[in-house]
Every structure is written in structure tokens, then in C-alpha cells.
Amino acid sequence: MTLELEKMPKQPGRLKIQKRADLVTEEIKQLITQKNLRPGAKLPMEKELQRLFSVSKSTIREALKSLEVQGLITVSTGPTGGATIIEVPLERTFQLLQNYLFFKEVSMEDIYAARRLLEPELAAGSVPFLSDEQLDALEHNIETCQPTSHEPSRLVRQRQADLDFHDILAAANPNPFLRFACELINEMLRRLVVFSTQTPPEEHAKFGCANVKFHAEIAKAARARDSERVRALMRAHMEEASQYVKRLDGRLDGRLILDSEMAPRLRPLS
Amino acid sequence: MTLELEKMPKQPGRLKIQKRADLVTEEIKQLITQKNLRPGAKLPMEKELQRLFSVSKSTIREALKSLEVQGLITVSTGPTGGATIIEVPLERTFQLLQNYLFFKEVSMEDIYAARRLLEPELAAGSVPFLSDEQLDALEHNIETCQPTSHEPSRLVRQRQADLDFHDILAAANPNPFLRFACELINEMLRRLVVFSTQTPPEEHAKFGCANVKFHAEIAKAARARDSERVRALMRAHMEEASQYVKRLDGRLDGRLILDSEMAPRLRPLS
DNA sequence: AAATCCGGTTTATAATGATAAATAGGATGA
DNA sequence: TCATCCTATTTATCATTATAAACCGGATTT
């Protein structure tokens, strides 16, 4: 009759015993927080990390993989290779957020309900901070959108350029959280919106023209540093766009975002 | 509208050639999207996945690790074990988002700028959908917050409960995107806010009382199904809270969120 | 002299096999 | 009936080896 109490009884829900690899991941994350490691800083190489945490190759590999998926590091081979801390890319964050939203059936109206609230405030807040280059970029963007052929591929392209306008405004805003929220919405619209093939291309062209008109007015007001007018114009713009999207039967394609889609897209300027 | 997903385009310059493990991850994500696998569905076991993609154990392990970090699957041992699709938990998404914001220096004012815009709309939109249980929960939450001793630990606890009030409202809103945005903000406030130790506890208590007052009014208006009044009250509530937070010198602790923090957090009322 | 090629070195990436840990479900025993 | 043990199954970790990618520096070519 043996008396064995070594086995740790399962604490109901309280403290989950993590896997070794996950513990290593945590240690490294704490290291980043505590030593305030900035982008560009390098982690020790795999061999040394193995030694440091007394784990095997595959375990340290899983830990690094976890950090890589989280967008906190990149790993490269070669003599100067290994893990390097990076600033988490927006696209990666968008991808991970879309994993969450994938199961939620988000409609276009849902997105615009938030966009209507955020964009006017974002735009108004950006006005005092817009550089001359950014103001130029806004105006140049409008020219790019101007000629509207009815060819489907051009229509899609125009919608992309429309969103670039909003990204330029976002880039100038000093509030990183608001900026993030709006950039996220822009990214969702850019990548996930699909329109019914039924609607005639003329309707799409009308949508594009209406956008250009508003963008031109907004750019003008922005150049005049009139924050309140920009806010009002953007509010009207969002209101109208929301209506158009509804008429054109725009929908969000509920799918997971793949790494291969995240090709480095052209960043306006910042 | 069809969506072309090319597997491995041979564009040599632009696209980065992915690692084998990442390719497997993509294949599995495509599988989830295409076969519309819902939470609960199981992936084949490791051995079979190895066979399926013709890769070694370590490769398939890395791919599964990636999906696990993304919150798309959980993996368990034993018979009937293996990878199971799950709905990405909000907490996981919050963790990944915080990785992004970690490098951005978000201030309390930044968060509240967005919160001021979103919460009134969220609350108003929730009103028609609040169940009797949820209305009861709102009122019960207020009672919980009522007695305010000046003990620091109780003050923190009260702020947590305050946020629960807003979570209840969020839960009733039919817009998953707006809901998500507000829940995210609540989670940030819950986990990352730190107050200066300088400010006297009386000030904190005053803050708590002011919150309770507004919550009581909001709950009353919600029971009366008066959406517009709820919107107006919430707007005033946010305005005031924003001022209090500024006075109390509330700050966001810029750090990375660890898995071990994401233990099932205390749900005060159930 | 400048650019290019070409190996060697360093490092991650992938494959394989062996052992440990966790779990479910059935068998065992009071 | 109930708790315990047993065992088969599957992941988790470790260890080792082999392969591939990136970089460095010297040799070769232009």
C-alpha cells in the first residue's frame, strides 16, 4: 500500500500548467518588456537559447515560431542570422484580427457603423498635422482617381485608390489608437469587399465620382486647415458612401487571410 | 465574384518564398475557409497530416503551432486528441493587438478619444436587444459597485466592475464589429490602466460614485427602452470619465500580454 | 581597379527516431 | 456503485543528423 502524493492534482480552472515551449515564449516576451528591447535588437542564436532555457532544439524552435507568428520577430539564416525584434506590422495584426472576425459574420453595415463614427474625428484630428507632402499626396490621389473607365479591373483599382486617400489622412493623425482603428477598417475594405456582379458598372462609376467630389472638397478644406469643415465633409462623405455600398450590394468576404496575400503594398508616405 | 488564390507564384522578385511550415499553415487555413470548418471540427492527427502534406513531424508541428498561436485551434493529447478548430477567443485577439500597440505609446487620451465616439452608439444600439436577464445584470452590477471603501484593492476591484457594466451592454449589441471594438477597449482598460499612487483615494472614490450615478441612469433608461436617452447619457458619462481619468493621472502600462495572464478572469456576477 | 564568381562558414530548416507525459476508456477490486 | 488501476493512443519533448539558405572573403575575370 503505497502513499504517493507527488502527482500534482488538477486545480480546477485556476492555474493551467503550460507547455514548456509556451513557457519559453513567455520568458522571452518578459525579456522584451523588461529590457525594453526595441525593433532591431537581436535575440541570441538558437543554440544559445537552447542552453539558456535548457530545452531542446524543437522546443526553442516552437517558441520562436510563436513569436514569429505574433509578428514580434523575424528569423533569418546565415552568419548574422537568428531572431530579430521587429515592430509588429499592421498587416499581420489585421490578419490576426480577421481570424477573430472570421467566425462573426460581419456585414458591411456593421463596419460602416463604426467607420461613420471614427473617420470624421480622425480626419479632423489630422488636419493640423498634415505636412505639405501629405497635402500634395491627397491632391495627387484625387487626380489618380479622376478618369473612370467602366472596365471592372479599373473600378476595383479606383476603390483601392479611394482608400489610399483615407490612409494618408490616417497617417497624419497623432492618435495611434484612432489611427490603428481606421487603418484596420481601410484594410478590411481593401481586402474583403466584394460587390455583386449584378450591379451595372455605371453605378460603380457614379460611386467613384461621388467619392472624388468629396475627397476634393476635403483636401481643399484640409489645405485651409479648417478642421471643423473637414469633419463635417467627412461625416457627409461617410453617410453617402454607406448608402452607395448598400445600393451596390457590397459584402464582406468572410475568409481567413493568408501570409502570401500580405505582399508588401505601397505605403503612401509617412 | 470569384477570388483567385494562386498557390506559389513563381514571381521571383516580389514575393518572398515561404518556408515549408508556413505553406502547410496556409493550406490548412484554406481548408478551413473552403470547407467552412466550424468550431468543434477536428483536424486529422499529426501522423496523418504528415502523410497528407508529405512533410516531417517537426514541420507539421510548426504549422500546428502557428495555428495554435493564432487562436484557431487547440491541441490536446491522448486518444481523441489532436487539433480542434475553435472560435478565436477575444482575449487572444486582445493579446495579439497589444503586441502591435506595444510599440506605439498609446495614451489614455488616445483610447478615450475612440471610446467617446463608440460607446454611446454601442449602448444605444444595444437597448432594443437587452434581455430581461441582461437588464437585471446591469442593475445588479450597480449594487455591487455601490459601497465604496477607500481601500486600494477595493478601488481597483470597483473599476473592474464598472467595466463589466459596459461589457454587458456590449454583449447585447447585434453589431459584431462595434461590439468587438468596445470589448477590446474595455479589455485594455481592465488590464493595462495604472493610476498614479500620488492621487488621494478620495478622488478615486468620487470617480467611482460618479460612474455609479451614470450607470444607474443608463440602466433606468435602458429598461424604459429609450435608446436616445441612453445615447445621450453614455456620451455624458464618457465625457466625464475622460476628465476624471485625466485628473487621476491614469496611464496605460505599455507591456506585452503573457498567456499566463489570460487565465479565466474572475466573472463577478453570473 | 572594379565587378563577378566561388567555395567555406554560419545559421536556420527539415527529417527521423526515441522517450516522456497526458488522456480516454475499459478492467479491476473493495 | 464507486474509486482505482491499467493500457492503448496521441501529443510533447528531446536528441541527432542531414539539408538549405545567407553571408564572408578571397580568387578570378573584365
Chain A neighbours among B 42-61 (CB < 8 Å)? Answer: 58, 61
Given a contact cutoff of 8 angstroms between Cβ atoms, the answer to whether B126 and B169 are in contact is yes
Backbone angles phi, psi at A47, to 5 degrees: -55, -45
- The answer as to CATH 1.20.120.530 being correct for domain A90-261 is yes
pLDDT given at position B146: 66
pLDDT tens string A67-116: 999 999 999 999 999 999 999 999 999 999 999 999 999 999 999 999 99
pLDDT given at position B204: 86
State the sign of the Cα–Cα–Cα–Cα dihedral A82, B258, B241, B239.
Answer: positive
Q: Measured between alpha carbons, how far is B218 from B207 in angstroms, rounded to an integer?
A: 17
Grid coordinates representing A209 are 465620382
- Asked if A194 is an interface residue toward chain B (Cβ–Cβ < 8 A), one would say yes
Nearest by CB to residue A259, choosing from B18, B93, B101, is B18
> Are residues A256 and B32, on separate chains, in Cβ contact within 8 Å?
yes
Going from N- to C-terminal start, the domains of chain B cover 20-85, 90-262
In the numeric block, the cell 475553435 is attached to B86
Name the minimum distance, in Å, from the CA of A262 to any CA of chain B.
Answer: 9
Whether A45 sits with its Cβ under 7 A from any strand C atom: the answer reads: yes
How many C-beta neighbours within 10 Å does residue B10 have? 7
Q: How far is CA B74 from the centre of its chain?
A: 19
B90-262 maps to which CATH number? 1.20.120.530
- Asked if B266 is an interface residue toward chain A (Cβ–Cβ < 8 A), one would say no
Residue whose CA is minimally distant from D24 C1': A79
Given a contact cutoff of 8 angstroms between Cβ atoms, the answer to whether A146 and A157 are in contact is no
* pLDDT tens for each residue of chain B, 270 residues long: 222 222 222 233 334 568 999 999 999 999 999 999 999 999 999 999 999 999 999 999 999 999 999 999 999 999 999 999 999 999 999 999 999 999 999 999 999 999 999 999 999 999 999 999 999 999 999 988 665 566 767 777 888 899 999 999 999 999 999 999 999 999 999 999 998 888 888 888 889 899 999 999 999 999 999 999 999 999 999 999 999 999 999 999 999 999 998 865 444 332
- Asked if B181 is an interface residue toward chain A (Cβ–Cβ < 8 A), one would say yes
Whether A243 sits with its Cβ under 7 A from any strand C atom: the answer reads: no
pLDDT tens string A119-152: 999 999 999 999 999 999 999 999 876 655 667 6
Backbone angles phi, psi at A20, to 5 degrees: -55, -45
Segment among A183-197, A243-257, B141-155 with least mean pLDDT: B141-155
In the numeric block, the cell 517537426 is attached to B58
Q: Measured between alpha carbons, how far is B207 from A185 in angstroms, rounded to an integer?
A: 33
One-character DSSP codes across B14-41 = SSPPPPHHHHHHHHHHHHHHHTTPPTT-
Q: Domain B20-85 belongs to what architecture?
A: Orthogonal Bundle (1.10)
Whether A251 sits with its Cβ under 7 A from any strand C atom: the answer reads: no
Q: What is the DSSP letter of B250?
A: E
Q: What is the distance in angstroms measured between the alpha-carbon CA of A42 and the sugar C1' of C11?
A: 14
Contacts of residue A9, defined as CB under 8 A and 6 or more positions apart, other chains included, come to none
Shared fold status for B20-85 and B90-262: no
One-character DSSP codes across A153-213 = HHHHHHHHHHHHHHHHHHHH-S-HHHHHHHHHHHHHHHHHEEE-SSS-HHHHHHHHHHHHH
Please report, for residues A168, A221, A229, the alpha-carbon distance to residue A207 in angstroms, rounded to integers and kept in the order given: 20, 21, 22
Helix or strand (DSSP H, E) at B201: helix B201-223
The single-letter code of the amino acid at A8 is M
Name the minimum distance, in Å, from the CA of A72 to any CA of chain B.
Answer: 7
Given a contact cutoff of 8 angstroms between Cβ atoms, the answer to whether A67 and B62 are in contact is no
Mutation target to probe the A interface, by most A beta carbons within 10 A, among B27, B117, B261 is: B117
Q: Residue B248: which of B209, B185, B194 has the closest Cα?
A: B194
Closest alpha carbon within chain A to B34: A255
Nearest by CB to residue A175, choosing from B21, B99, B110, is B110
Q: Measured between alpha carbons, how far is B228 from B124 in angstroms, rounded to an integer?
A: 6
pLDDT tens string A2-52: 222 233 333 333 345 789 999 999 999 999 999 999 999 999 999 999 999
Mutation target to probe the A interface, by most A beta carbons within 10 A, among B77, B252, B258 is: B258
> Are residues A121 and B111, on separate chains, in Cβ contact within 8 Å?
no
